[in-house]
């Protein structure tokens, strides 16, 4: 029994899962009915369902971010891309309410499917842009994605003309607030992306190549791996994920705000990825871990709100958690802690 | 005259392995002393001990008669031992003058201790450079100077700290012939001023051009110290390698050489890369083993990298099956049926955290592309096949390759490339770090592959292997090809060819 | 962000080892104009860009840009960028980056507001405390970066969050103000004018004249010094033109300013800081050591430079300057708002890169960052006058940043 337990603990998802369970327990302790799920209004209803729904956009962005980090990169422009996608979709659908024959209906500027495709395509293009800067021009990822982070919000604002576009088109809301088979529709989207990605990673050589490029880019190159193409593709995918997340967010709040949509989602995504066990230095990654990491963050946010802690502290807590995780992952820090804790044996010369 | 620097009884161990055993060295003021030895002889370890990067486990070091024990490069510098590294360790974004004085600026002004006296910095920098015969604009950025000039600046810096001993670690690797001559002029000048210079190189003709005495290391041990005039090149080579060449002809007769009428699979005409390789003509035929022989630094790896698309040539052409090709990256080369098992497996070979299975399958998978994925089962079968045929010792193919011993890692690398079923396989030091039995296995495998029609380019520092397994031997020295010998030639013949060039030089 | 490797291949064709055959005392021939230009293209290019952009906007706004009122606003609105750019430049030269400066300056503004308005502290004590707090924040972040070796962008990204949250919490979501009048003078005050006339703030004009004279004096003396050591590289014509241009600009500027309200206090603060930092980075040991650290950390360490401590100190300095900028910004708005500091870091980083700093460290000049900050400021100001929306402004800013970094990367990979 004990042996099974220690083996289980060694699994790299052990800590993320435990953290999540802990947070759920904390929430349950302070909130009566936290774990309560009932069927109401034709679908499942409860705090847990709420958390899942709200975590969906973050889960998507984290998936994309996982691959980018695995190649030793980073993408801090995802927030801006979320805003761009949301803005584009909202604009294409149009924010006008039209009364026809006494019935308030909505006429879209472009068919909704087109708007959705366009938004994700543009988001993917943004990712492609980042990838080209990193792989072909040779910029450092932080700087390359900083540029889009600066300009991206402006582009989003351009699309919305500086306004917040309110969306009235019913079918659009289904994305972020609708329910299918009792569960939030957004989960299905996340599941679909996750499954597709998982299959791509495990059924094709992508997973192998991405890890290889992240661990030893030079050796991968010598082995004939097309490292550049992999890197460009990974950033493009991250952009696309941010695009879908943008659709979910704007669908949920029924509006597109070029300024605030996706605000700070980049830090949440980086945090989710690192909580899930993927190292910032690249290499092996865990998609499931990132998903759990996103859930942890959402549950943490929920816990903070329900405890009545002011929302500002949310930011502080998150940042502290980032620090803690960073420190744990930093080899130097672990060494210095170890040195502090273990005193050198007598007579041994300290290096 | 007493030596300015004297090392005796130096031992250095790494995890139980003796890197240096009872090594001695004597440096006199006003001499240029060459330190020679093959790869793994202990030269760099000895230098690291001298410069304080490592501390010896045992032994004495004396500078000007006083016992010293430098604990860091800065320490060694303060004691008077300066080093100029092959990769010049200066700051390219600072000016020449600043690099000469980094960390030790002459100060001035009311803010004594803070403000830099630039006029003084520039004046003294120019003085130091003039001492070694270099007159350049000291305010220009170091990065805009050639490597040769950068090295001279590093030397000037050593002068500035009033070193007594100057160590030059492979200083000529990135220099062309003119620059080498200029460097030597500087060294002679410094020698005239009484500086003791330790000069590490593997270029034979340079050793004889400029050094007064030669110390040879082999397998971590001191072999001997001779005045350069008394040690001929053949004697030097045999001291470095550890045996006299047998005058008798070489070992087994080569396998049936490829038909001379077989068209060349791969051919180079004047292929070269400035600063790395002089233009070379070479051809390899299907079914033959072409051995590339030469001492360390002869340019064999550079040639391999050019052939595989890892470097771009500056001159000449490369043709495969008679058609000129341009290989922009290894993926191109793989597409043409080439394979390269690199020399540096740690940096260019293994992907440490991935499993043995993944490492072995990597190149084949890369060639097949992203979509045609080898299933887990297929990869495992592939890996296990090679584990068996090459005798790779691992618990199972899922363990991270980083945990394997060096020799087994090397075998896995060879497996990786054999898996791609190449037409031309380039093996760069495939038997380094492998036990004797395994070496034999690999040699036999190479012969088998050639018989089956694969062309093999075989690079090894173990001359006996090259001689035994090659159908033809191309001999390189100092980055050019000096000749070709038929398979079955004796080792002695190869060394003669290498040494002969020097005598005629 | 740091790179240990020195390029083995030269970036420009190698200079021959023995350049001039003459003895060391022979006067070095002044380089040809084109040769000198090529080497200093970046520097001159920036100056010319600034002038060109100013000219462009002056034209587009029908002369509004250079009106004294607008000039004053320009200076006041962008002073905090310049102040922070001084610190950010050192951080970037050392090979790191600091994304938290916006949030830190907002937080410090909030601290100042709470202390001065709610607890009625003396403004001098508050200001000093605030700068100390800023330095402490910088120290904390610097410790993580320099000693625990965590990538600076992660540390400062997290820092950005922390202080944004703390600022919000401290202000309880409100705007807090107004500040005591003396404190306001920091940002919106102008220097006293004892010699003042009715229409002309003569003191300001006088200061401008003195500054121009001093500039010319020091430059000429510097050139004479160089000539004494035979190290003049700048052709006389360029020297003349460049310094004449500078002197004229200073005179024109102070004239324009003196016809309105004179020189703002914050301008004096900025000028002092700029001169100080320029001095430190070009003429002091500690300044040059930062460049060595950024250029090749290993070599710097081998030269005895305490690289970790140095990197740590650049962050401390950045924190202090961010705090000062926060004070200036809060004083100008006369309130501390939760939104203060939003997006500052991007302007500041962009200013440094436009000014020639390199992402890999070791390269960048204080004057360059200042010019970069002014370019950003003029663009901000000009675009606002023209009524160009914030959206376009951000896109254009992103493009300018892209161009600046592109040039840097292109030069590196050549």
What pLDDT was estimated at residue C40? 66
What stretches of C172-235 show up as alpha helix (H) in DSSP? 181-188, 202-228
Facing residue for A215 by CB, picked from B310, B353, B370: B353
**Residue A183's CB: how many other CB atoms inside 10 A?**
15
Looking up tokens 């001298």 gives B50
Which pair of tokens denotes residue C285? 């040991």
Q: How far does A145 lie from chain B, in Å, by closest CA?
A: 26
A-chain residue closest to B370, CA distance: A205
CA distance B14 to B49: 13
List the single range of B21-30, B377-386, C152-161 with lowest mean pLDDT: C152-161
Paired strand residues for B62: B6, B67
Residue A100 has pLDDT above 80, yes or no: no
Q: A332 and C148 in contact by Cβ < 8 A?
A: yes
User: How many CB pairs below 8 Å do chains A and B form together?
Assistant: 77
Q: How far does B91 lie from chain C, in Å, by closest CA?
A: 5
What are the b/e assignments for B148-182, b being 16+ CB within 10 Å?
A: bbbbbbbbbbbbbbebbbbbbbbbbbbbeeebbeb
**Residue C234's CB: how many other CB atoms inside 10 A?**
15
Interface test with B, best of C295, C368, C413 (most B CBs within 10 A): C295
What pLDDT was estimated at residue A110? 80
What pLDDT was estimated at residue C36? 64
Task: Tell me the average pLDDT across A76-101.
Answer: 85
Closest CA to A265 of A277, A278, A248, A279: A248
What pLDDT was estimated at residue B292? 92
Looking up tokens 């001997």 gives B224
pLDDT band at A8, cuts 50/70/90? Answer: low
Q: Are B428 and B341 in contact (CB under 8 A)?
A: yes
Q: A316 and C1 in contact by Cβ < 8 A?
A: no
Which pair of tokens denotes residue C186? 């920091």
Cβ-in-10-Å burial (0-12, 13-18, 19+) of A338 comes to exposed
Judged by a CB distance cut-off of 8 A, whether residue C95 touches chain B is no
pLDDT band at C132, cuts 50/70/90? Answer: very high
Residue C22 has pLDDT above 60, yes or no: no
Judged by a CB distance cut-off of 8 A, whether residue C300 touches chain B is yes
Q: What is the 3-state secondary structure (H, E, C) of chain A?
A: CHHHHHHHHHCCCHHHHHHHHHHHHHHHHHCCCCCCEEEECCEEEEHHHHHHHHHHHHHHHHHHHHHHHHCCCCCCCHHHHHHHHHHHHHHHHCCCEEEECCEEEECCCCCHHHHHHHHHHHHHHHHHHHHHHHHHHCCCHHHHHHHHHHHHHHHHHHHHCCCEEECCCHHHHHHHHCEECCEEHHHHHHHHHHHHHHHHHHHCCHHHHHHHHHHCHHHHHHCCCCHHHHHHHHHHHHHHHHHHHHHHHHHHHCEEECCCCCCCHHHHHHHHHHHCCCCCCCCCCCHHHHHHHHHHHHHHHHHHHHCCCCHHHHHHHHHHHHHHHHHHHCHHHHHHHHHHHCCCCCCCCCC
Q: A313 and C169 in contact by Cβ < 8 A?
A: yes
C212 vs A106: which has the higher pLDDT? C212
- pLDDT tens digits, one per residue of C227-260: 776 666 677 887 888 788 888 888 888 888 888 7
User: How high does pLDDT run on average in chain C?
Assistant: 81
Residue A29 has pLDDT above 60, yes or no: yes
Residue B350 has pLDDT above 70, yes or no: yes
Q: C151 and A152 in contact by Cβ < 8 A?
A: no
- pLDDT tens digits, one per residue of C175-187: 887 888 878 877 7
pLDDT band at A347, cuts 50/70/90? Answer: very low
Which pair of tokens denotes residue B266? 């791969």
Report residue C16: phi and psi, to 5°: -65, 150
Facing residue for C161 by CB, picked from A140, A147, A319: A319
% of chain B at pLDDT higher than 70: 92
Which pair of tokens denotes residue B118? 């630039």
Residues of chain C contacting residue B114, judged by C-beta atoms under 8 Å apart? 284-286
Which pair of tokens denotes residue B494? 């190869």
**Residue A331's CB: how many other CB atoms inside 10 A?**
10
Residues of chain B contacting residue A222, judged by C-beta atoms under 8 Å apart? 308, 310, 330, 340, 342, 348-349
- As for the ipTM of the complex, it is 0.78
Closest CA to B24 of B44, B5, B37: B5
Asked if the structure places residue B75 within a domain, the reply is: yes
Highest mean pLDDT of the ranges B203-217, B422-436, C240-254: B203-217
Q: Are C360 and C412 in contact (CB under 8 A)?
A: yes
Which pair of tokens denotes residue C227? 């000539």
C-chain residue closest to B183, CA distance: C17
Pairing of strands B289-293, B472-477: parallel
Q: Are C231 and C28 in contact (CB under 8 A)?
A: yes
List the single range of A67-71, C222-226, C332-336 with lowest mean pLDDT: C222-226
CA distance B80 to B163: 4
CA distance A127 to A137: 15
pLDDT band at C30, cuts 50/70/90? Answer: very low
Neighbouring residues of C390: CB distance < 8 A, sequence distance ≥ 6? A154, A157, A162
- Provide the domain count of chain B: 1
Q: C409 and A267 in contact by Cβ < 8 A?
A: no
Judged by a CB distance cut-off of 8 A, whether residue A154 touches chain C is yes
Which DSSP symbol is given to C116? Answer: I
Closest CA to B432 of B319, B314, B328, B300: B300
Interface test with A, best of C106, C107, C148, C401 (most A CBs within 10 A): C148
Looking up tokens 């081998």 gives C302
Q: How far does A269 lie from chain C, in Å, by closest CA?
A: 12
- pLDDT tens digits, one per residue of B75-125: 888 888 988 887 778 898 899 998 988 777 777 665 556 778 888 888 888
What pLDDT was estimated at residue C15? 35
Window 152-171 of B: residues touching C by CB (8 A cutoff) are 152
Asked if the structure places residue B13 within a domain, the reply is: yes
Asked if the structure places residue B19 within a domain, the reply is: yes
What pLDDT was estimated at residue B244? 57
Which pair of tokens denotes residue C72? 């004053």
List the single range of A200-209, B261-270, B378-387 with lowest mean pLDDT: B261-270
Residues of chain C contacting residue A313, judged by C-beta atoms under 8 Å apart? 165, 169
Judged by a CB distance cut-off of 8 A, whether residue A327 touches chain C is yes
Judged by a CB distance cut-off of 8 A, whether residue A270 touches chain C is yes
Q: Are C298 and C308 in contact (CB under 8 A)?
A: no
What pLDDT was estimated at residue B73? 83
Q: Are B64 and B4 in contact (CB under 8 A)?
A: yes
What pLDDT was estimated at residue C370? 92
Domain that holds residue B20: 5-241
What pLDDT was estimated at residue B57? 83
What pLDDT was estimated at residue C414? 56
User: How high does pLDDT run on average in chain A?
Assistant: 83
User: How high does pLDDT run on average in chain B?
Assistant: 84
Q: Which helix (H) or strand (E) holds C87?
A: helix C68-93
- C366-385 vs C41-60: helix crossing angle, rounded to 10: 20
Asked if the structure places residue B233 within a domain, the reply is: yes
Q: For B332-336, which contacts have Cβ atoms below 8 Å and span 24 or more sequence positions?
A: B333/A224, B333/B307, B333/B308, B333/B309, B334/A224, B334/B363, B334/B366, B334/B367, B334/B420, B334/B422, B335/B367, B336/B423
C29 vs A265: which has the higher pLDDT? A265
CA distance B318 to B457: 15
Which pair of tokens denotes residue C56? 């462009």
Residues of chain B contacting residue C298, judged by C-beta atoms under 8 Å apart? 89
Q: What is the DSSP string of B187-227?
A: HHHHHHTT-EEEEE---HHHHHHH-SEEEEEETTEEEEEEE
Residue C3 has pLDDT above 50, yes or no: no
Residues of chain B contacting residue A283, judged by C-beta atoms under 8 Å apart? 353
Asked if the structure places residue B417 within a domain, the reply is: no
Asked if the structure places residue B43 within a domain, the reply is: yes
Residues of chain C contacting residue A135, judged by C-beta atoms under 8 Å apart? none
Residues of chain A contacting residue B363, judged by C-beta atoms under 8 Å apart? 223-224
Residues of chain A contacting residue C405, judged by C-beta atoms under 8 Å apart? 139, 143-144, 147
Q: How far does C60 lie from chain A, in Å, by closest CA?
A: 22
- pLDDT tens digits, one per residue of A125-170: 999 999 999 998 888 888 889 889 888 888 888 888 878 888 777 7
User: How many CB pairs below 8 Å do chains A and C form together?
Assistant: 135
CA distance C405 to C397: 12
- Write down how long chain C is: 414
Residue C195 has pLDDT above 70, yes or no: no
Interface test with A, best of B306, B333, B362 (most A CBs within 10 A): B362
CA distance B194 to B131: 13
Judged by a CB distance cut-off of 8 A, whether residue C29 touches chain B is no
B-chain residue closest to C93, CA distance: B93
Task: Tell me the average pLDDT across B452-480.
Answer: 87
Facing residue for A219 by CB, picked from B334, B348, B374: B348
Which DSSP symbol is given to C7? Answer: P
Q: How far, rounded to the nearest angstrom, does the alpha carbon of residue B414 sit from its chain's CA centroid?
A: 21
Residues of chain A contacting residue C354, judged by C-beta atoms under 8 Å apart? none
Asked if the structure places residue B10 within a domain, the reply is: yes
Q: B362 and A212 in contact by Cβ < 8 A?
A: yes
Residue B71 has pLDDT above 90, yes or no: no
* Chains linked to A by 3 or more Cβ pairs within 8 Å: B, C
Task: Tell me the average pLDDT across C207-227.
Answer: 82
CA distance C162 to C184: 27
Which DSSP symbol is given to C151? Answer: -
Facing residue for C295 by CB, picked from B73, B91, B145: B91
What pLDDT was estimated at residue C154? 78
Task: Tell me the average pLDDT across B11-39.
Answer: 85
Q: How far does A322 lie from chain C, in Å, by closest CA?
A: 7
Closest CA to A177 of A287, A25, A49: A49
Asked if the structure places residue B102 within a domain, the reply is: yes
The pTM for the full model equals 0.79
Residue B276 has pLDDT above 50, yes or no: yes
Judged by a CB distance cut-off of 8 A, whether residue A224 touches chain B is yes
CATH number at residue B70: 3.40.50.300
Window 164-203 of A: residues touching B by CB (8 A cutoff) are 203
Q: A223 and B371 in contact by Cβ < 8 A?
A: no
Task: Tell me the average pLDDT across B13-21.
Answer: 77
What pLDDT was estimated at residue C24? 34
CA distance C325 to C319: 10
Pairing of strands B81-84, B165-169: parallel
Window 240-279 of B: residues touching C by CB (8 A cutoff) are 275
Judged by a CB distance cut-off of 8 A, whether residue A42 touches chain C is no
CA distance B323 to A122: 43
Residue C61 has pLDDT above 90, yes or no: no
Judged by a CB distance cut-off of 8 A, whether residue C233 touches chain B is yes
Which DSSP symbol is given to C263? Answer: -
């Amino acid at each position: 029994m004990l042996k099974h337990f220690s083996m289980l603990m060694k699994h790299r998802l052990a800590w993320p899962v435990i953290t999540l369970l802990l947070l759920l327990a904390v929430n349950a302790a302070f909130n009566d009915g936290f774990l309560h799920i009932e069927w109401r209004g034709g679908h499942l209803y409860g705090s847990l369902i709420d958390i899942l729904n709200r975590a969906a956009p973050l889960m998507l962005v984290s998936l994309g971010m996982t691959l980018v980090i695995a190649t030793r990169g980073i993408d801090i422009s995802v927030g801006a891309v979320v805003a761009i996608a949301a803005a584009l979709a909202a604009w294409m659908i149009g924010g006008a309410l039209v009364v026809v024959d006494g019935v308030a209906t909505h006429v879209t500027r472009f068919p909704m499917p087109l708007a959705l495709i366009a938004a994700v395509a543009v988001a993917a293009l943004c990712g492609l842009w980042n990838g080209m800067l990193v792989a072909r021009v040779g910029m450092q990822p932080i700087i390359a994605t900083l540029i889009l982070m600066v300009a991206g919000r402006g582009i989003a604002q351009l699309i919305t003309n500086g306004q917040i576009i309110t969306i009235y088109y019913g079918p659009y809301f289904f994305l972020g607030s609708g329910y299918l088979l009792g569960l939030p529709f957004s989960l299905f989207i996340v599941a679909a992306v996750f499954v597709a990605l998982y299959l791509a990673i495990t059924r094709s050589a992508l997973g192998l190549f991405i890890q290889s490029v992240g661990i030893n880019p030079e050796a991968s190159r010598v082995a004939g791996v097309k490292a550049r193409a992999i890197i460009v593709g990974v950033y493009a995918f991250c952009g696309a994920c941010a695009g879908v997340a943008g659709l979910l967010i704007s669908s949920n709040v029924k509006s597109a705000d070029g300024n605030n949509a996706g605000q700070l989602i980049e830090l949440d995504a980086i945090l989710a990825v690192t909580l899930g066990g993927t190292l910032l230095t690249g290499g092996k990654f865990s998609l499931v871990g990132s998903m759990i990491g996103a859930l942890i963050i959402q549950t943490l946010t929920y816990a903070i709100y329900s405890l009545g802690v002011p929302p500002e502290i949310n930011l502080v807590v998150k940042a502290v958690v980032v620090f803690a995780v960073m420190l744990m992952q930093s080899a130097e820090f672990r060494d210095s802690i170890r040195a502090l804790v273990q005193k050198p044996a007598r007579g041994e010369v300290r290096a | 005259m007493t030596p300015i620097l004297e090392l005796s009884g130096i031992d250095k161990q790494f995890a139980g392995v003796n890197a240096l055993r009872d090594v001695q060295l004597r440096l006199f003021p006003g001499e240029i002393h060459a330190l020679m030895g093959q790869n793994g002889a202990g030269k760099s370890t000895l230098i690291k001990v001298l410069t304080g990067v490592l501390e010896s486990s045992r032994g004495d070091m004396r500078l000007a008669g006083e016992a010293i024990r430098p604990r860091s490069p800065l320490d060694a510098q303060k004691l008077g031992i300066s080093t100029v590294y092959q990769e010049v360790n200066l700051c390219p974004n600072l000016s020449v003058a600043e690099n000469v004085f980094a960390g030790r600026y002459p100060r001035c002004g009311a803010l004594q201790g803070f403000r830099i006296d630039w006029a003084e910095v520039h004046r003294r920098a120019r003085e130091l450079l003039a001492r070694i015969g270099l007159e350049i604009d000291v305010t220009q950025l170091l990065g805009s100077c050639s490597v040769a000039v950068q090295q001279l600046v590093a030397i000037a810096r050593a002068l500035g700290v009033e070193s007594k001993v100057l160590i030059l670690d492979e200083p000529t690797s990135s220099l062309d012939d003119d620059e080498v001559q200029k460097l030597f002029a500087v060294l002679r000048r410094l020698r005239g001023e009484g500086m003791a210079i330790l000069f590490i190189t593997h270029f034979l003709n340079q050793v004889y051009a400029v050094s007064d005495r030669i110390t040879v290391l082999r397998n971590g041990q001191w072999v001997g110290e001779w005045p350069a005039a008394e040690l001929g090149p053949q004697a030097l080579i045999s001291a470095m390698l550890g045996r006299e060449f047998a005058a008798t002809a070489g070992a087994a007769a080569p396998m049936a050489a490829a038909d001379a009428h077989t068209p060349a699979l791969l051919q180079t005409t004047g292929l070269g890369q400035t600063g790395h390789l002089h233009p070379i003509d070479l051809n390899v035929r299907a079914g033959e083993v072409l051995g590339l022989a030469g001492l360390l630094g002869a340019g064999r790896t550079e040639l391999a990298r050019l052939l595989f698309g890892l470097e771009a040539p500056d001159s000449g052409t490369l043709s495969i099956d008679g058609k000129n090709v341009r290989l922009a990256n290894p993926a191109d080369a793989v597409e043409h049926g080439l394979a390269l098992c690199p020399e540096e497996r740690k940096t260019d070979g293994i992907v440490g955290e991935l499993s043995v299975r993944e490492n072995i399958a990597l190149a084949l998978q890369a060639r097949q592309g992203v979509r045609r994925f080898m299933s887990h089962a297929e990869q495992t079968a592939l890996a296990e096949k090679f584990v068996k045929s090459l005798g790779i010792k691992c618990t199972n193919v899922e363990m991270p390759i980083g945990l394997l011993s060096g020799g087994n890692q090397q075998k896995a690398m060879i497996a990786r490339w054999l898996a791609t079923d190449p037409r031309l396989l380039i093996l760069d030091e495939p038997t380094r770090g492998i036990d004797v039995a395994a070496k034999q296995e690999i040699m036999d495998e190479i012969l088998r592959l050639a018989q089956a029609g694969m062309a093999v380019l075989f690079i090894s520092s173990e001359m006996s292997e090259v001689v035994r397994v090659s159908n033809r031997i191309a001999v390189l020295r100092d980055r050019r090809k000096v000749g070709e010998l038929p398979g079955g030639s004796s080792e002695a013949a190869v060394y003669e060819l290498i040494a002969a060039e020097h005598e005629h030089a | 962000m740091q790179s240990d490797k020195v390029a083995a291949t030269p970036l420009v064709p190698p200079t021959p080892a023995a350049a001039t055959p003459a003895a060391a005392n022979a006067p070095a021939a002044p380089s040809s104009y084109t040769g000198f230009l090529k080497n200093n293209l970046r520097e001159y290019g920036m100056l010319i860009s600034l002038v060109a952009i100013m000219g462009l906007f002056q034209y587009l706004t029908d002369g509004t840009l250079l009106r004294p009122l607008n000039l004053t606003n320009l200076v006041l609105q962008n002073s905090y960028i310049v102040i922070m750019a001084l610190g950010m430049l050192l951080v970037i030269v050392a090979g790191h980056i600091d994304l938290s400066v916006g949030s830190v300056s907002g937080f410090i503004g909030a601290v100042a507001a709470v202390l001065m308005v709610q607890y009625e502290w003396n403004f001098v004590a508050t200001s000093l405390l605030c700068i100390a707090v800023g330095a402490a924040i910088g120290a904390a972040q610097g410790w993580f970066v320099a000693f625990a070796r965590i990538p600076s962008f992660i540390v400062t990204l997290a820092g950005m969050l922390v202080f944004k949250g703390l600022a919000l919490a401290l202000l309880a979501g409100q705007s807090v103000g107004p500040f005591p009048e003396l404190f306001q003078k920091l940002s919106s005050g102008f220097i006293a004018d004892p010699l003042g006339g009715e229409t002309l703030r003569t003191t300001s004009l006088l200061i401008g004249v003195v500054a121009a004279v001093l500039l010319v004096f020091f430059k000429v003396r510097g050139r004479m010094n160089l000539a004494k050591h035979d190290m003049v590289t700048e052709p006389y014509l360029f020297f003349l033109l460049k310094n004449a241009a500078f002197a004229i600009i200073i005179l024109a500027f102070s004239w324009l300013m003196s016809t309105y309200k004179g020189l703002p206090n914050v301008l004096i603060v900025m000028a002092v800081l700029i001169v100080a930092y320029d001095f430190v980075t070009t003429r002091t040991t500690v300044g040059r050591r930062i460049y060595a650290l950024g250029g090749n950390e290993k070599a710097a360490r081998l030269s005895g430079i305490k690289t970790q401590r140095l990197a740590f100190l650049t962050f401390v300095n950045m924190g202090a300057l961010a705090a000062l900028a926060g004070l200036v910004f809060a004083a100008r708005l006369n309130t501390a708002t939760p939104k203060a500091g939003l997006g500052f870091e991007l302007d500041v980083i962009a200013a440094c890169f436009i000014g020639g700093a390199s992402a890999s460290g070791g390269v960048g000049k204080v004057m360059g960052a200042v010019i970069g900050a002014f370019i950003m400021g003029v663009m901000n100001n000009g675009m606002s006058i023209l009524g160009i929306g914030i959206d376009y402004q951000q896109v254009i800013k992103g493009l300018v940043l892209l161009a600046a970094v592109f040039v840097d990367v292109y030069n590196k990979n050549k």
